[in-house]
């Protein structure tokens, strides 16, 4: 219960899916977790459930595509807690109109602003706090599609997740001497609400064979539990029954 006692974690996109599972796992391990996301009602509901199980969580509504809002939140965290030990950049999305044949400028911008710009804003805002303490962990949630070409996610999502993988490597290259380490987690299909936005949503039977949010949440917690001298650079997770190998 106390493996992360005394640690402060900030998780974006924490209202549902992978972000929620990661926040719950970190709180269960003893960290104080700030859960941020766009929907305050969802965050508050899920935070109550985590608190009922003994976890310490706070709720901060946030749109990661606004650099001003991100910086305000980090300034508030600094004034109240003085540090960010762990940042989990999980906020991300895809659209139903995702392929070249029907990709819109609006859809492209929406994906890139959330999946890529938002991750940069959050990371850039916490790095000064981490540098000052010579310690910090940034966990970026990318995708199987960020490592292997995928025919189902579209150019914007695939491009953004490939960029997240590369950005994480640059973080380790540039900030390792400051005690800062980055890990990019690349899960294959996960049974989250993002599946509902597929042009052809998978069946209940297929979704049961996918990774579940809790699987990735445990991986996030495992990475966070490593000692400061250990950097888990990349984690690729897939279900045993992997449609990328079958179809």
Instruction: Give the catalytic positions in this structure.
Output: 157
Q: In angstroms, rounded to a whole number, what is the distance separating the alpha carbons of residues 203 and 200?
A: 9
Q: How many Cα atoms are found within 13 Å in the side-chain-facing hemisphere of 62?
A: 34
Cβ atoms within 10 Å of 54's Cβ, excluding its own: 10
Identify each DSSP E strand in the chain by its residue range. Answer: 8-11, 32-37, 56-61, 86-89, 136-141, 180-187, 234-237
CA angle 189, 194, 197 (to 5 degrees): 115
The residue assigned the tokens 């940034």 is 138
Closest CA to 221 of 19, 17, 60, 13: 19
C-beta of residue 156 within 8 angstroms of C-beta of residue 100: no
Please report, for residues 164, 171, 200, 231, the alpha-carbon distance to residue 147 in angstroms, rounded to integers and kept in the order given. 10, 17, 23, 19
C-alpha 176: how far from its chain's center? 21
């Amino acid at each position: 219960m106390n493996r992360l006692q005394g640690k402060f974690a900030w998780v974006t996109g924490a209202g549902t899916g992978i972000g929620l599972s990661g926040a719950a796992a970190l709180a269960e391990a003893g960290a104080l977790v700030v859960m941020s996301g766009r929907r305050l009602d969802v965050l508050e509901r899920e935070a109550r459930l985590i608190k009922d199980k003994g976890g310490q969580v706070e709720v901060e509504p946030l749109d990661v595509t606004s650099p001003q809002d991100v910086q305000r939140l980090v300034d508030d965290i600094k004034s109240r807690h003085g540090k960010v030990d762990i940042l989990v950049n999980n906020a991300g999305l895809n659209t139903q109109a995702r392929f070249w044949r029907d990709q819109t400028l609006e859809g492209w911008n929406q994906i890139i602003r959330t999946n890529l710009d938002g991750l940069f804003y959050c990371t850039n805002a916490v790095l000064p706090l981490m540098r000052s303490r010579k310690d910090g962990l940034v966990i970026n949630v990318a995708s199987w599609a960020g490592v292997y070409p995928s025919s189902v996610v579209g150019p914007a999502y695939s491009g953004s997740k490939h960029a997240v993988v590369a950005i994480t490597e640059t973080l380790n290259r540039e900030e390792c001497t400051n005690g800062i380490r980055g890990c990019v987690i690349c899960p294959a299909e996960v049974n989250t609400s993002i599946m509902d936005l597929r042009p052809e949503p998978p069946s209940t039977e297929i979704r049961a064979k996918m990774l579940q949010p809790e699987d990735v949440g445990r991986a996030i917690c495992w990475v966070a539990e490593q000692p400061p001298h250990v950097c888990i650079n990349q984690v690729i997770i897939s279900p045993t029954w992997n449609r990328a190998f079958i179809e």
